[in-house]
Structure 1
């Protein structure tokens, strides 16, 4: 079986974001896994404008007007699943990440997603919000998650996750790879899944 291609997406675009260190930590733990091949993506580098496409993505059929959207679309199409590194902002998801999700649609279909969240209360409300959002794009969110506390998993500005976090992340990656493999027939069948078949 071919290893699932998984993107670790750092979903904050805020200067000095804590998510970059978290994303590197996820990637370090994912290296060498046999059932998944992992890449790290920083959302900030894609320069997506706020809802700048005139045609809703469900009807655009990947024919986007903006170059940044086309690059984002092609990038997301390459992957079978995702680890979303997401902060919690005001009891919800970060606006830039939600916009990046909303600007596409078929590219997300029949793919798996796992969450590594951070915030004052571990980002749990953002994850619960994300779970209902991704379901609308026919994604499957795995049950396991990592909830990092700004008070316990950082020492000042330095990311220093508690010892148990590695095991929690391992469970997320196990479930993510399993679900990505299970969804492969749906992606390969054409339909509204990825163009790779």
Structure 2
């Protein structure tokens, strides 16, 4: 009787995940939320993560087909990170029922960097938890030919849920939500990366 040892399934190469911190306001709460999220994705072996903090790049909201040298300098701080990413997680607050102008500027200054890549969301805010910002972002990223995953992580009245050390006071629910979103992001990221390796995206 011939017993053939099954060929082990190769472990996929980790996806390059860019976590975009969308707020650049003074006194922002975003770093608390992004550090919490980074601590959740860090132990996973299916992602190599890099933070894109929009407070470190001052992109103008007025677009130009011929960016000035100053704008090119600012773009150089973020564009390579976006181009090298296989997937994205956007950490966004909700400002006036929408998302920050700094985040819209980042999106608008790029195009191919988003194409055929999955996007997940971690939102925070008042009673809505930033969900209105996320719903608007879904429409914007659809125009960029990106794929947004269904499940999100949302913090309503976010300040009350974290202690002075940035630890969530009741982490079971958010931890489960983050795992679900990251699992979906990993599936889409690997599927789209495999598809693009076979044929260029028809964007």
Normalising by structure 1, we get a TM-score of 0.85
Alignment of 1:1-197 (within 5 A): 1-54=12-65, 66-120=72-126, 121-150=128-157, 152-154=160-162, 160=168, 162-163=170-171, 164-188=173-197, 189-191=199-201
- How large is the Cα RMSD of the aligned pairs? 2.4
Gaps of 5+ in 1: 57-64
Question: Structure 1's 86 and 161: CA in aligned 2 closer, same or farther, altered over 3 A?
Answer: farther
Partner SS for 2:33: helix
The CA distance in 1 between the partners of 2:100 and 2:86, in whole Å, is 23
* CA deviation vs aligned residue, 1:127-179 (integer Å, no higher than 9, x gap): 10011110111101001101101255245896635321111111111111111
- 1:32 offset after TM fit, Å? 2.1
Gaps of 5+ in 2: 1-11
Normalising by structure 2, we get a TM-score of 0.82
User: Number of matched residues?
Assistant: 186
* CA deviation vs aligned residue, 1:38-62 (integer Å, no higher than 9, x gap): 1222111122122343359xxxxxx
Comparing both structures, which one devotes a greater share of its residues to strand?
Answer: 1
